[in-house]
Amino acid sequence: FLNSFNKFRYFKKGYVHADKLFKNSSREQLINKTIVFNTVRRVREFIDREFFLGKLLALSGARVIMLLNDGVIENRKINPKKTHNNIYLFFYRSLIKKALKIYRDPNLQIIYYSDMIDRKNVNSKNWQELKKFSLSSTIRYFQSSKLNFSDKKVEKRYKQYLKDAILSRNIGEYILYRIIPDFFVTSHGIYSSWGPAYEFLKKKGVNCLVYATSHSHTNDTQDIYFATSKVQTLSRCKFWQEYKNEAVTKHMEEKVNELFNILKDYPIINISEEKPSLEDVFIKLA
């Protein structure tokens, strides 16, 4: 209890400081763009980071839309080991509620997935091409690329992720046709919860930006920059170790090139900085 309470008090103190900072900030009309953040996770560190950036853009004149998954897509929102800890859940939900209140702005709108998707009218025509996202999420979940689909647990998880991928694709369609964004910002463009929406929008010509951070727990805009790939970092998978005692073959080289080309997402913005910051990109494109 004491540990949860101390963390709650620490983060709440930070929100009080952020609230004062925002109230003392000037409002300018620098960016006349519609910018969508696909936050997905209702996790404090991601809400803080993406909503903080969204708030800064809103103060700069942008129309900012934050998308939050409210249970439509199966995504673990909190540590599953603590879901039965009522004290933890109370502090967790209180912090999320406080955060969403702090980041409110006339130019910032929150849209929940349940308001974007009509489950009775889901477009599932392209489900075959979404199987790759379901597979990648299943591999990540079981931490192994050698999956036994005769195992009911594996099959169940794969089917759930395929449903999520279909819903994510529908989210992408909603964004394109209903919101009509100038920019789409995401933490990455892979897996069943993020990949389908990202891929759909990118193929339709929307400016899709993947942000990365110098370290995982930061809200400092100097530590946040744009990556030139679908992911911020390379995978932690260990399948490459099977090659370590073998001579490199042409097949191995082709496999590596194939994997990198899948992840590679060539730079969208032609600016000189190696790691352009959020402000650099949007001000130059305003």
pLDDT tens for each residue of 15-66: 888 888 888 888 888 889 999 999 887 777 788 888 988 998 999 999 999 9
Q: Are 231 and 189 in contact (CB under 8 A)?
A: yes
DSSP 118-147: -GGG---TTGGGGHHHHHHHHHHHHT-S--
pLDDT at 81: 47
pLDDT at 219: 58
pLDDT tens for each residue of 202-237: 999 999 888 776 655 555 666 666 666 676 655 555
Q: What is the mean pLDDT of the chain?
A: 79
Range in 72-76, 112-116, 278-282 with the lowest mean pLDDT: 278-282
Domain extents for the chain? 2-285
Alpha helices in the chain (DSSP H): 2-23, 44-59, 86-102, 113-116, 131-142, 152-174, 191-203, 250-263, 278-285
**56 Cβ contact list (under 8 Å, min separation 6):** 221, 278, 279
Mean of the pLDDT values across residues 168-176? Answer: 96
Is pLDDT above 70 for 84?
A: no
